[in-house]
Amino acid sequence: MSTQTPEREAVAAAPTPGCSKQAALMIMSLFVVLAVAATTLGSDLLRRAAATTDGDFAGETLEVLIPLAEGGGTDTWARYVGTELSHVVPGQPGFAPVNEPGGEGIAGTNAFVAEARADGTEILVSTASSVVPWVLGRSEVQYDFDQLTPILANGSGGVIYARTAAGVSSVEDLVNRDTPLRFGGISATGLDLTTLVAFDLLGADVESIFGFEGRGPVNLALQRGEVDLDYQTTSAYGPAVAPLVLSGTAVPLMSMGQVDVAGKIVRDPNFPDLPTVVEVYEQLYGEAPGGPALEAYRSLLALTYTWQKAMWVPEKTPDAAVQTLRTSAHEMAEDPEFTDAAAEVLGGYPIIADDDLPALVHDAYTVEPDVRDYVVELLASDHDVQLD
């Protein structure tokens, strides 16, 4: 029979101070090891590996990197398309948009290619702002779209219009002028570049003024008489330009057009009554255009309008994960309910996400050396922009 009191039994059952200290040291050592490993190898060490190769994204989150500021057209597009995509991907993963603005989209895109997980859960949004600098080979660009895998792509359109008080009533008023027309721009190496090449192709008497914060401010500057020429994309044309045309303040001159699967520049289905830049050239000069300016315009039109926005994953993303995302995007694009609901955001242009997408995008993003040489020379001679 034990002679210990209950109090003594409790004391005997308790761990000795030495054991407690030893356990605490072991726990502290474990945390030190984890902390050092996390610092050395990155936070991915502590993340659960995504299981996306079985066709089911249940429990995952689609993190979509938008390399531009919140509230713009690309941000609106990415959030809408990303949300809808997350609803149709098997397993209905979560959706987390992440804005990383800076450097016309270059900074965020650089960060994505350096840090993104190649498992299908991290997706990059591209637009003309980030694609054109890559095409031009700007030194800040550390990414290569040839080393990314496209999931879906979507186009847009645009219309060049003029202030009637500047003495413009038709395309004939673009040439043989006593004084040049003033074009309002944001950056010569962004989306504006396509319009600059169009003016050069047409031989238009235009001087460009850059530094505007967006196309909205350019539209307001035109209404104030500070600039004479502007362009707006399809989604903005209705609210920003149509009222000016109706009042007689502005006149639409041409659409940018679209590049079809055969590489031909055709009329934009959203502006069937407006001639393309190529048609305007024929109207002005009585013959079809040709040479480096035409090839540059065709290439840039495909890059900046026909394939303006896209979603990508890292090149090493497993084929099964890529196929799940692309098939889901294709099914979403083919759904009439989605098409109707998304008409305003997509501007009436279809989302392309079929098996031909990689080849189509690769062709559109392949710019021949002589085209780049032409663009580099144009920027240097006419716009005082020097590229590396």
Amino acid at 335: D
pLDDT reported for residue 142: 96
What's the pLDDT score for residue 212? 86
pLDDT tens digits, 189-199: 888 999 999 99
Model pLDDT, residue 97 = 97
Domains for the chain: give ranges and CATH numbers: 61-155+307-355 (3.40.190.150), 158-303 (3.40.190.10)
pLDDT value of residue 15: 43
Q: Going by C-beta distance under 8 Å and a sequence separation of 6 or more, which residues neighbour residue 82?
A: 62, 64, 95, 97, 123, 311
| Residues 110-133 as b or e (16 or more Cβ within 10 Å = b) | bbbbeebbebbbbbbbbbbbbbbb
Cα(167)–Cα(225) distance, integer angstroms: 12
Angstrom distance (rounded) from CA 211 to CA 218: 10
Other CB atoms closer than 10 Å to residue 185's CB: what's the count? 24
Q: Which of 145, 165, 175, 218 lies closest to 366 in space, CA to CA?
A: 145
Identify whether the C-beta of residue 179 lies closer than 8 Å to the C-beta of residue 202: no
- Per-residue model confidence as pLDDT tens digits over 126-167: 988 899 989 888 889 999 999 999 999 999 999 999 999 999
Q: Residue 244, SS3?
A: helix
pLDDT at 300: 94
Burial label, 74 (beta-carbon count in 10 A; 0-12, 13-18, 19+): buried
pLDDT per residue as tens digits for the range 5-61: 444 444 344 444 444 555 544 555 554 444 444 444 444 444 445 578 888 999 999
Helix (H) or strand (E) holding 207: strand 206-209
Considering the entire predicted model, what is its pTM? 0.76
101, 341 in Cβ contact below 8 A? no
CA distance 327 to 337: 17
- Positions in the chain whose pLDDT score sits under 70: 1-50, 388
Q: Which residues contact 249 (CB under 8 A, 6 or more apart)?
A: 163, 164, 165, 223
What pLDDT sits at residue 138?
86
